[in-house]
């Protein structure tokens, strides 16, 4: 006889399937674990031994975020590992600006109905990104909520915790006029501006995720699913004290994010012609008739991370970070000034 489906499963929540999938992903999580991870996978919380050899005064740094409406592209293309990696990398960058290295990561997946293939891709992407970031994926939560989400859709959130020695915290307090602003290249839109990008590309231009990007051989869906780059491993190669300030260029662009790293008596003057803006942003601006200033407030425009250093350290730092000089620090009031 066929096994009778449980009432909760008939209501849209398959607890048994959830448990089965969680058991199957244990190897992916274990691949990110070192000796500091304690306890079994799937407990009520993740356990991490707080021992930090070499740090005199360890400071924990935490951040939480999502990947926004980039998920809509993942749904349309039916590819989900990249947004899993995006989630980890975005969070890693948010704590890297303080000089912190990641310790552990937890995820939240809320969905209309648990789809094994989608779940495996998401966790696979997170696991791979955590391994590359030397960060332990120690747990998470998967919530099946029929009626809360559209069919086939889900939401993602991630929480990361890292550590930095108090004497090595990067806080921007030493930034002064004459310092150099360096830009590290982004890998496309990263995880911001997708609501506007989708409106322009799909509604105004009439493109589909399977359409070629105008003037390019790459299709739109692939372009929009480029993985958000993790800059922390590169930044960790820079000698302590060299970098005076860092800004992760996410929602708000250079205009809103760079001031977070500035002291109140300094401006960051950005020479926008000092780098080539990637074609995807040119298409969005031209096809959407978007004001240039708004472009630099919505999108990263090809710069995913900004580092501020003293003039004597600029050339060597640029070489290590594969960065370019995109501006300078002047006296001001803590704002970004664009030279268009």
3-state SS string for 222-271: HHHCCCCCCCHHHHCCCCCCCEEEEEECCCCHHHHHHHHHCCCCEEEEEE
Closest by CA to 231, choosing from 337, 339, 98, 104, is 98
Is residue 221 a contact partner of residue 209, using CB atoms and an 8 Å limit? yes
Closest among 133, 160, 106 to 235, alpha carbons compared: 133
Contacts made by residues 260-265, CB under 8 angstroms, sequence distance 24+: 261/97, 261/172, 261/175, 261/306, 261/308, 262/172, 262/175, 262/329, 262/334, 262/335, 263/172, 263/173, 263/175, 263/334, 264/333, 264/334, 265/331, 265/332, 265/333, 265/334
* Tokens linked to 94: 């948010």
pLDDT at position 2? 53
pLDDT in tens, 169-227: 999 999 999 999 999 999 999 999 999 999 999 999 999 999 999 998 899 999 999 99
163 vs 239: CA distance, rounded Å: 17
Predicted pLDDT of residue 18: 80
Architecture field, domain 180-339:
Alpha-Beta Complex (3.90)
List, for residues 305-336, the tens digit of each pLDDT value.
999 999 999 999 999 999 999 999 999 999 99
φ, ψ of residue 151 to 5 degrees: the values are -55, 130
Domain borders along the chain are 7-168, 180-339
Architecture of the domain made up of 7-168 = 2-Layer Sandwich (3.30)
121: nearest Cα among 129, 231, 12 = 129
Domains 7-168 and 180-339 share a fold: no
CA distance 24 to 5: 22
Measuring CA to CA, which residue among 308, 165, 300, 310 is closest to residue 235? 308
Q: Give the 3-state secondary structure of residue 139.
A: strand
User: What predicted TM-score, i.e. pTM, was given to this entire model?
Assistant: 0.94
DSSP-derived letter for residue 212 is B
Do the Cβ atoms of 79 and 121 come closer than 8 Å? yes
* pLDDT at residue number 1: 46
Quote the radius of gyration of the chain (alpha carbons, Å). Answer: 22
For 310, list phi and psi in degrees, rounded to 5.
-70, 155
Q: Using alpha carbons, list the distances in angstroms from residue 212 to 79, 178, 203, 322.
A: 17, 44, 16, 29
Run of H or E residues at 296? helix 292-298
Tens-digit pLDDT profile for the chain (340 aa)? 456 678 878 778 888 888 887 888 888 999 999 999 998 888 889 999 999 999 999 999 999 999 999 999 999 999 999 999 999 999 999 999 999 999 999 999 999 999 999 999 999 999 999 999 999 999 999 999 999 999 999 999 999 999 999 999 999 999 999 999 999 999 999 999 999 999 999 999 999 999 999 998 899 999 999 999 999 999 999 999 999 999 999 999 999 999 999 999 999 999 999 999 999 999 999 999 999 999 999 999 999 999 999 999 999 999 999 999 999 999 999 999 999 9
What does DSSP assign to residue 150? -
């Amino acid at each position: 006889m066929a096994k009778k489906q449980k009432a909760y499963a008939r209501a849209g929540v398959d607890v048994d399937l959830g448990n089965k999938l969680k058991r199957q992903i244990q190897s992916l999580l274990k691949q990110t674990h070192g000796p500091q991870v304690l306890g079994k996978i799937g407990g009520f919380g993740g356990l991490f031994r707080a021992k930090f050899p070499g740090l005199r005064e360890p400071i924990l740094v935490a951040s939480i975020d999502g990947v926004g409406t980039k998920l809509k592209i993942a749904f349309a293309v039916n590819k989900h590992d990249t947004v899993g990696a995006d989630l980890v990398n975005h969070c890693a960058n948010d704590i890297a600006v303080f000089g912190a290295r990641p310790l552990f990561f937890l995820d939240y997946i809320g969905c209309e109905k648990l789809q094994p293939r989608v779940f495996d891709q998401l966790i696979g992407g997170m696991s791979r990104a955590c391994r590359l970031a030397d960060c332990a994926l120690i747990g998470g939560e998967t919530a099946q909520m029929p009626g809360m989400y559209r069919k086939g859709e889900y939401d993602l959130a991630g929480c990361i915790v890292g550590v930095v020695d108090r004497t090595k915290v990067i806080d921007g307090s030493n930034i002064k006029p004459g310092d150099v602003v360096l830009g590290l290249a982004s890998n496309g839109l990263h995880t911001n501006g997708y609501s506007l990008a989708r409106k322009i590309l799909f509604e105004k231009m009439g493109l589909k995720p399977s359409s070629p990007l105008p003037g390019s051989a790459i299709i739109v869906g692939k372009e929009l699913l480029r993985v958000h780059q993790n800059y922390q491993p590169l930044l960790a190669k820079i000698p302590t004290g060299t970098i005076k300030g860092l800004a992760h260029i996410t929602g708000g662009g250079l205009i809103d994010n760079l001031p977070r790293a500035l002291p109140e008596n300094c401006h960051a003057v950005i020479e926008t012609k000092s780098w080539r803006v990637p074609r995807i942003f040119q298409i969005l601006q031209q096809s959407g008739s978007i004001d240039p200033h708004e472009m630099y407030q919505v999108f990263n425009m090809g710069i995913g991370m900004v580092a501020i250093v003293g003039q004597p350290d600029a050339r060597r730092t640029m070489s290590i970070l594969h960065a370019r000089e995109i501006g300078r620090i002047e006296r001001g009031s803590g704002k970004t000034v664009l030279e268009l």
